[in-house]
Structure 1
């Protein structure tokens, strides 16, 4: 990553999460004083200042006081809420942003805000579409609708001149320390627990999607925080649409198990793993404004994912040399 100089104090809301922990690490690497804000402490934030706070539940006044007391220059909203109803989805994804924007407006010297949205705010697109920032959002799920509502609030404030900030619409992520409920986090756990002889059956979507390494996404957050040219909205993704089966095969290679360890089962994909059949992100704005591009290949990302999920007693699978890894 290009050195931009050491940053000041950075508050990462959701600092213990699967994205937040990597964002904390990326800012710390740049010399920033990191304040991880979350409801519960985890080992992920050991080494950083930790503030136990439910940012969605506290008042805007309380949140502003915390940010001012910590002399925060940058706030990153890396929180992610999940639920089965519109109200549950809105609690963390929308209510927190309402509180945060109100808090920032009340501060004499409001910090810069980097808000993490999702590429799913655009909704399903036609096969072959390169999703740039001008694609009209048409979300189809409660989660995507809630995230779009929050992103719109931030974008309106930025474009009206009431806030210095950027929305990053990030695609699906892979890499170390995956969310246990994510598709590949859950699959890695199943492969860990199944044993080499037994293997597993899996329903695999007939879909091509864009996956970016979580560390590359964290790098984009740091660049958005530090670049005066960031712009109000930037999409972040590898820029490739890979078939889900290709990604599953990459994870199986990382485990060292035989390819037939995952037996494909026919049937419709349901639940959180269901989604658009085609996602390919246009990351040209990220390259132009942030000087950002992905660094991690798919095999490297899956190997590092597996190394944080596999049993501690299990030896790591042989890692291919960098020359043997697929080129981006």
Structure 2
């Protein structure tokens, strides 16, 4: 099975590619902006025709889209998180319509919960900022594409190499800077959002 992992040099993509390589019979191709990528693609800027040509050449059975931006201005977030998945779907319909698409969404698409109303997977989407809104736009592009596709909404992944733009990475960086100062936790900001 040929599996193309987009965003394979990012935090989640690197972990996903590593795990997929351990599967018997899996041939993992990496896609992204790295010179070492098997498929050279920047989802924020690539044209559908270019990506379709690259996908036809790679001939994946499955595409796992881990590409995304967690920080930056609204334009950057929209280019990567909304435009990227839409272009990917259009290119897949043209070049590899039978390929399975696994797209990483975000729990931020749901918006915040409260202690009385935790957020579940069946909750309505109510993103409160550009990140959640752009990830939701990407999810809509994938789920309405007509492809064999699934969206996995990820919430606060924790592990080695966590980026400083996400909550776990921000906490780790703050605690590293603070050393033994217990007041550092107060600088994290509002942590009242709840997800079930």
- Same fold by TM (over 0.5)? yes
What is residue 103 of structure 2 aligned with on the other side?
115
Matching residue within 5, 14, 27 for 2:20: 27
Q: Which ranges in structure 1 are unaligned for 5 or more consecutive residues?
A: 1-7, 43-48, 201-260, 281-328
- Tell me which residue corresponds to 2:31: 37
Output the CA distance in 2 between the equivalents of 1:108 and 1:140. 35
CA distance in 2, matches of 1:67, 1:25: 21
* Map of 2:88 onto structure 1: 100
1:138 is aligned to: 126
Q: 1:55 to 1:265 in 2, by over 3 A?
A: closer
Gaps of 5+ in 2: none
- Structure whose alpha-carbon radius of gyration is higher: 1
Note if contact 1:128-1:278 (Cα within 8 Å) is conserved in structure 2: no
Q: Aligned partners of 1:110, 1:135: CA distance in 2, in Å?
A: 30
Corresponding residue of 1:277 = 193
Q: Are 2:72 and 1:83 equivalent residues in the alignment?
A: yes
Residue 310 of structure 1: aligned partner: none
Residue 264 (structure 1) aligned to one of 183, 190, 193: 183
**Which one of the candidate residues 35, 51, 59 is aligned to 1:71?**
59
Query: Would the aligned equivalents of 1:117 and 1:147 in 2 still touch at CA under 8 Å?
Result: yes
* CA pair 129-41 structure 1, distance change in 2 beyond 3 A: farther
For this pair of structures, how many residues does the alignment match? 194
Alignment of 1:1-328 (within 5 A): 8-31=1-24, 32-41=26-35, 50-81=38-69, 82-85=71-74, 87-107=75-95, 109-157=97-145, 162-189=146-173, 199-200=178-179, 261-265=180-184, 269=188, 277-280=193-196
Question: Counterparts of 2:85 and 2:195 in 1: how far apart (Å)?
Answer: 26
